[in-house]
Structure 1
């Protein structure tokens, strides 16, 4: 049967616990109603939002006209010698294209950062060969607008007509759509407004940058189309029903975390970066009203937190089966996108939450704006409680900042509650400071805590919702650092470095306001500070 190569398997114990939920879902015709965009599936309170957020269920059909438009523009650009694609986007506007192009082996430079060094590296590429894709559903995303302003200036200074090198993806009627029309940008792709950002992988947000970079987006839609009839069937064998019900059944038993790893590393079918895309989908969709599923992305099935997962976590392998996994999902990328979207929406029904809103995301954005509006508070209102070499320590109320860095870390980690989690949030350059990601492995190994790692401010558009709205048992380790060189944002009263700093401080303030422990470690020398921090983590264990 079409789509049969896309499967979900749960181990015997979990499958047995999910079976009654699946039976109820089948009886209630949830799969077919979801495929038909029935907004009543999540209760009266969610109906208004759901009624304008369900067009993703048919994108394998409705996105077809984009294929020719994308290919035509790609050929145009290449005839002009333009073959380097840079994407400015956050959250749903960047995560899917990054997975698609990495899986396909297509070159795409993704800017979902406010780190001046990382943006400067992107600017240092060959601008004569560069097209910038500016993607924002709302049209007002501050990070993306900053990238657009910086690149427009750089194009102009290089003697390039900036308007001819900027392509826009946005919703109809957004401020960005209006700006693009006024500025005469090369092309504007208007996405389906009835699809939320985290469900937008198969809209223009996922397909345009990926297709311009050379990915086969028609095949992606074919893969989704093949599995769609299976996912919409009210049958016990529907893999989306099993995946959503298994998550919910495990959650009912206290497994509030979903640990995700790809297990086909090295094969041609590897879905490179898929867990990072799934992270936003699950966290933003379920993490609210004090409940939800925290996705924990790990380096592989042998990583700390996967094989040794405790009863507070459900392990999911994406790819070939793995003995430590309670759930295994298989299938090509386009089909997996649709499968996980269906399963997440179904889990939302079982958890009795609205999977289409994100009520706690705005708080951190507002806190950052408030700091940018008060430069004195941003630049001069902080005094570290401890300085240990290249690391300055800033601790929230209730978190001790005394002693050397090892002592501080020991005291901070001791604040984690039973079955809590540790979130490492690095407001750094995810290319030049890539070694920071090793902290997840080290901390998970030494603490035994389920440990997430996020690059800031990227994670604010994914797990940031769960941190404030989900289970309130997290502790938060922020890592910030002095940039070697800062970048002005044309037409704005702040630099990228100041924006990045405000985003870290703003989110930390909101988390502390929720009563969560926050420890910020500021690196006055990034390379030396990271090395010092790794040694302190190893000593603290």
Structure 2
């Protein structure tokens, strides 16, 4: 790992490293000393520190399971999960790809009906293995995904449906009970003292990796090697050194962690987003991760950034851009993986780094006090739908050409909205609220596909080109279990545009009155209500017609072309 910091930041970084060692920071971390953080319940959430060692104690377990999966001839594996249960497997799937003789791994972490149907229509259910991945077994999304696909499996496989399902859950959870009642093929267990976002090296990550045909033992050996290095003094400790760098940067106002990842490891940023945002974003503090942002001229970036450049050895597509960013005086952290298998060590490095950064920030990096707020609001809305058959009525502030704008009274007053305000004027006024040190976030409750992501990227570019403010993009509801914690619990320096749409085709949730479209709508409205309650600068743009055309219109408004 290489660090290139401006002189002032470099001096502060060295001072913080010395202070960490003087306070026995590494020893206290490994001894699970909660006083390193806030003196709260941190010690209850540190079983991830030696999980690689425990996993390696039974070296035959994962190869045996991989052989069983291969023998059954599955073409696809679909993991049904959210947040910590799904993001690590997603990174593994993108990074390692499909192995000869083993099934392809796909992830479902969206309640968008179009996305659900697109996945379903390409599957041969009789050749598909489903992982239902949920620590508690009570999370809404995995439960509705399970309800849908178990119903589909029963239609095609009858009483054999359960043999196509595996649960990954904590002992004694509701999902363990569901797996027993439904006749699942297997149940794998997480560890109750490992939080979801720190669970990559537990069965939540390693069981899917084994099913893909990857050598799990070798992967864990890389992680264990990193764990040993992370017991060294701070200046030689790759995890603590990274964490102290991030914590020092945050203290000096550089609270936007901008991730630049080369193609071979590009999806690691999705996992890092959750780890960093959900761990640090609370009590008015946050390190905001910025992933997959379009690059601009180095001199145009603000002084609130710290960059991390991650690449596989031999990859250099962004090397010149990163060199220019460094030459412009911005802090740059460089991490190069020799090969994909080194991803195991990076998972552990970043977990240690996040724990260390949390100590410098004076927060508990293992809780997520604001995630539940959106869940509560969503539950109120779905309960009302179950009772009345409809969601509460709402009135748009502006409706124009298939796009409607919604916001609360405080945001309407701040934007000066009245009956004469046009949609273009309102959007431009909202974007005009972005000031130095702010970030802009698009919260898109639409199908997460390449077309929509490209259209939203153009909107990010339009905002980015104005003054270099950091821009983020999250697809709902998955970001609720990731960056959503920082958006609500962190500093009030975000400007948000939520995007929702009508569903061309909705899908029923078996056993419920509500549909996937209703769940998604309730999640979006609950999310926005909490942003309003926290005094955030936020609006919702709802699309009633063609999503592609509407996103183009919004992009033109943002860029000043309309």
TM-score (norm 1): 0.92
Is the 1:406–1:540 contact (alpha carbons within 8 Å) kept by the matching residues of 2?
Answer: no
| Partner Cα separation in structure 2 for residue 97 and residue 225 of structure 1 | 19
RMSD: 2.1
Pick from 32, 37, 44: which aligns with 1:42? 37
Would the alpha carbon gap of residues 380 and 342 (structure 1) be closer, same or farther in structure 2, given more than 3 Å must change? closer
Aligned length: 525
Structure 2: 5+ residue runs without aligned partners?
A: 99-103
Q: Deviations over 1:213-252 (max 9, x none)?
A: 2333223212112222211112422222221122122222
Residue 101 of structure 2 corresponds to: none
Superposition deviation, residue 540 in structure 1: 6.5
Residue 115 of structure 1 corresponds to: 112
Greater shift after overlay, 481-490 or 245-254? 245-254
Pick from 272, 275, 278: which aligns with 1:281? 275
Superposition deviation, residue 506 in structure 1: 0.5
Q: Deviations over 1:330-379 (max 9, x none)?
A: 33211111111111100111111001000111010100111112236964
Is the 1:108–1:210 contact (alpha carbons within 8 Å) kept by the matching residues of 2?
Answer: no
Residue 151 of structure 1 corresponds to: 149
The answer as to 2:388 corresponding to 1:389 is no
Superposition deviation, residue 306 in structure 1: 6.9
Is the 2:65–2:210 contact (alpha carbons within 8 Å) kept by the matching residues of 1?
Answer: no
Matches within 5 A, 1:394-473: 394-397=406-409, 398-399=411-412, 400=415, 403-431=421-449, 433-438=452-457, 439-446=459-466, 448-473=468-493
Is the 1:248–1:350 contact (alpha carbons within 8 Å) kept by the matching residues of 2?
Answer: yes
Pick from 330, 338, 342: which aligns with 2:348? 338
Pick from 551, 558, 561: which aligns with 1:530? 551
Q: Deviations over 1:490-510 (max 9, x none)?
A: 112210000000000001001
Is the 1:378–1:502 contact (alpha carbons within 8 Å) kept by the matching residues of 2?
Answer: no
Pick from 379, 388, 405: which aligns with 1:369? 379
Q: Deviations over 1:123-182 (max 9, x none)?
A: 111111101101011111100000000000101111352210110001111111122122
Pick from 109, 127, 130: which aligns with 1:129? 127
Would the alpha carbon gap of residues 307 and 361 (structure 1) be closer, same or farther in structure 2, given more than 3 Å must change? farther
| Partner Cα separation in structure 1 for residue 561 and residue 552 of structure 2 | 14
Superposition deviation, residue 282 in structure 1: 0.7
| Partner Cα separation in structure 1 for residue 191 and residue 310 of structure 2 | 28
| Partner Cα separation in structure 2 for residue 328 and residue 170 of structure 1 | 35
Is the 2:302–2:468 contact (alpha carbons within 8 Å) kept by the matching residues of 1?
Answer: no
* SS of corresponding position for 2:300: coil
Matches within 5 A, 1:57-206: 57-64=49-56, 68-106=60-98, 107-124=104-121, 125-160=123-158, 161-206=160-205
| Partner Cα separation in structure 1 for residue 155 and residue 259 of structure 2 | 44
| Partner Cα separation in structure 2 for residue 24 and residue 392 of structure 1 | 53
* SS of corresponding position for 1:159: helix
| Partner Cα separation in structure 2 for residue 69 and residue 349 of structure 1 | 36
Superposition deviation, residue 8 in structure 1: 4.0
Superposition deviation, residue 468 in structure 1: 1.4
| Partner Cα separation in structure 2 for residue 87 and residue 307 of structure 1 | 42
Residue 353 of structure 1 corresponds to: 363
The answer as to 2:495 corresponding to 1:500 is no
Residue 254 of structure 1 corresponds to: 253
| Partner Cα separation in structure 2 for residue 183 and residue 305 of structure 1 | 56
TM-score (norm 2): 0.89
Structure 1: 5+ residue runs without aligned partners?
A: 1-6
* SS of corresponding position for 1:472: coil
Q: Deviations over 1:239-266 (max 9, x none)?
A: 222211221222222112211111x33x
| Partner Cα separation in structure 2 for residue 411 and residue 524 of structure 1 | 23
Greater shift after overlay, 361-370 or 443-452? 443-452
Greater shift after overlay, 528-537 or 334-343? 528-537
| Partner Cα separation in structure 1 for residue 224 and residue 275 of structure 2 | 20
Q: Deviations over 1:476-521 (max 9, x none)?
A: 1000011111111111221000000000000100100111122111
Is the 1:422–1:449 contact (alpha carbons within 8 Å) kept by the matching residues of 2?
Answer: yes
Q: Deviations over 1:381-410 (max 9, x none)?
A: 122222222212112322345633322211
Pick from 285, 295, 298: which aligns with 2:289? 295
| Partner Cα separation in structure 2 for residue 468 and residue 283 of structure 1 | 11
| Partner Cα separation in structure 2 for residue 446 and residue 145 of structure 1 | 42
Would the alpha carbon gap of residues 371 and 540 (structure 1) be closer, same or farther in structure 2, given more than 3 Å must change? farther
